[in-house]
């Protein structure tokens, strides 16, 4: 099964699709540091670094030796900053949103058997739903059946409360299905369209599901490190604890990217007051930043959050910054390392990240969780088989 990954980032989508059985033959990424990470982990894939419009202007069929309709899957996550529910601008005029048109131009050129588009949940309400309607219109005009849902990563064994909008298109008049939940994991979806588009677990069937993957399941075997430490590859000190760690450690002899951002003394002092599962409200009032001293205790409940080992992590962002959310290690007074963030995203330990530490955090935070991509890829293979 051959695939192309546009807007590939560091390669989370390709990583998971590879687990499902797809082989990426071409990828495109704008940011060189992200593309370098993709390339070292996908040595046999042709990686085009630069604007996606360079891909559109390339004669892909001759470059890849493909005829129209031969490619199995065109996948990608066009940049989502303009669509994010947290972005100050949620407008169709945001130039980043027009990158969808470039993605669709490639689809028109190749007419693959299936198309996978992933994005933030906020895309479903952007322009009162007109962006999704336009994607349907364009793909249906090319002869595709189209469906979309909002999938929760926790349902597929990922230990974080991450939601993604998934659009699947298949050539011809074919029924489209989405992967059924396998893990008994729950989270509150606080965005428009959640009720209709999310897959809900029936209490009757939850007893047949696997227990949700926890923070401890993901990172409890990794060695202790100091706040701000930049570490070379490290040896595993213990055996893997559980199936999640065993799977992610398979094929890796050393722990790479187990380094983390540092914190100033005042923040390190604040961390000492936060218990597992706690947050900024556990910090003595006089130690809080001035702005947070005026906040209501019901506000910013993720800020300065220390993860609970038996809970899930909030969505991994492009910075594991205590001001942004709950990214404090359950037992150590520091933020999560790049490798710990990658574990919580479900990247295998054999997947290595390059560039500066901030660039590595950004690559991990922007990625599609590979386990989620794997399940979507398996479902697409069933459909186009």
Instruction: List the CATH number of the domain containing 41.
Output: 3.40.50.150
What lies within 8 Å, CB to CB, of 328 at 6+ separation is 271, 274, 304, 305, 306, 307, 322, 334, 335, 336
Distance from C-alpha of 30 to C-alpha of 231, rounded to nearest angstrom = 28
- Parent domain of 189: 2-204+368-384
- Please give the pLDDT value at position 57: 65
pLDDT of residue 168: 98
Residue 323: strand, helix, or coil? coil
* Active-site option among 15, 56, 80, 198: 80
* pTM of the predicted protein model: 0.93
**pLDDT score, position 84:** 52
Q: Is residue 305 part of a domain?
A: no
The string over 291-316, giving b where at least 16 C-beta atoms fall within 10 Å of a residue's C-beta and e elsewhere, is ebeeeeeeebeebbbbbbbebbbbbb
Instruction: Report pLDDT for 376.
Output: 98
- 80 is a catalytic site residue: yes
DSSP label at residue 255? E
96 located within any domain: yes
Helix, coil or strand: residue 285: helix
Residue 375 is assigned to a structural domain of this protein: yes
The residues of the chain scoring below 70 in pLDDT are 57-58, 79-98, 192-195, 204
pLDDT of 93 reads 62
6 part of a folded domain: yes
Looking at residue 208, its pLDDT comes to 87
In a domain, 139, yes or no: yes
Cβ burial 248-284 (10 Å sphere, 16+ → b, else e): bbeeeeebbbbbbbebeeebeebbeebebebbbbebe
Residue 193 confidence (pLDDT) = 67
What local confidence, expressed as pLDDT, does residue 88 receive?
46
Q: What are phi and psi of 178, to 5 degrees?
A: -120, 155
Domain count, the chain: 1
The pLDDT assigned to 362 comes to 97
pLDDT at residue 95 in the model: 66
């Amino acid at each position: 099964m051959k695939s192309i990954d546009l807007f590939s980032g560091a390669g989370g989508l390709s990583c998971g699709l590879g687990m499902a059985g797809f082989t990426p033959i071409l990828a495109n990424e704008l940011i060189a540091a992200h593309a370098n990470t993709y390339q070292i982990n996908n040595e046999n894939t042709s990686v085009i670094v630069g604007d996606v419009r360079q891909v559109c202007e390339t004669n892909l069929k001759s470059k890849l030796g493909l005829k129209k309709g031969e490619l199995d899957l065109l996948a990608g996550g066009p940049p989502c900053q303009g669509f994010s529910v947290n972005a100050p601008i949620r407008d169709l005029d945001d130039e980043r949103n027009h990158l969808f048109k470039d993605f669709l131009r490639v689809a028109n050129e190749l007419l693959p058997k299936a198309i996978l588009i992933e994005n933030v949940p906020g895309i479903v309400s952007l322009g009162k739903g007109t962006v999704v309607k336009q994607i349907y219109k364009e793909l249906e005009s090319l002869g595709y059946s189209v469906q979309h849902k909002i999938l929760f990563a926790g349902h597929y064994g990922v230990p974080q409360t991450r939601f993604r909008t998934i659009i699947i298109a298949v050539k011809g008049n074919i029924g489209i299905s989405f992967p059924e939940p396998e893990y008994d994991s729950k989270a509150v979806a606080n965005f428009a369209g959640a009720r209709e588009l999310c897959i809900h677990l029936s209490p009757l069937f939850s007893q047949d599901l696997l227990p949700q993957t926890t923070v401890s399941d993901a990172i409890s075997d990794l060695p202790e490190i100091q706040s701000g430490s930049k570490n070379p590859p490290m040896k595993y000190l213990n055996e893997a604890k559980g199936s999640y760690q065993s799977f992610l450690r398979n094929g890796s002899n050393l722990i790479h990217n187990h380094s983390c951002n540092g914190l100033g003394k005042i923040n390190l002092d604040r961390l000492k007051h936060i218990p597992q599962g706690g947050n900024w409200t556990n910090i003595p009032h006089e130690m809080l930043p001035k702005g947070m001293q005026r906040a209501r205790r019901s506000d910013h409940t993720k800020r300065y959050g220390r993860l609970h080992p038996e809970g899930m992590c909030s969505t991994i962002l492009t910075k594991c910054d205590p001001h942004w959310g709950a990214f404090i290690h359950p037992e150590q007074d520091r933020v999560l390392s790049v490798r710990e963030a990658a574990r919580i995203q479900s990247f295998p330990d054999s997947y290595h990240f390059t560039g500066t530490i901030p660039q590595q955090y950004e690559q991990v935070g922007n990625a599609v969780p590979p386990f989620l991509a794997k399940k979507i890829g398996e479902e697409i293979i069933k459909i186009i088989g």
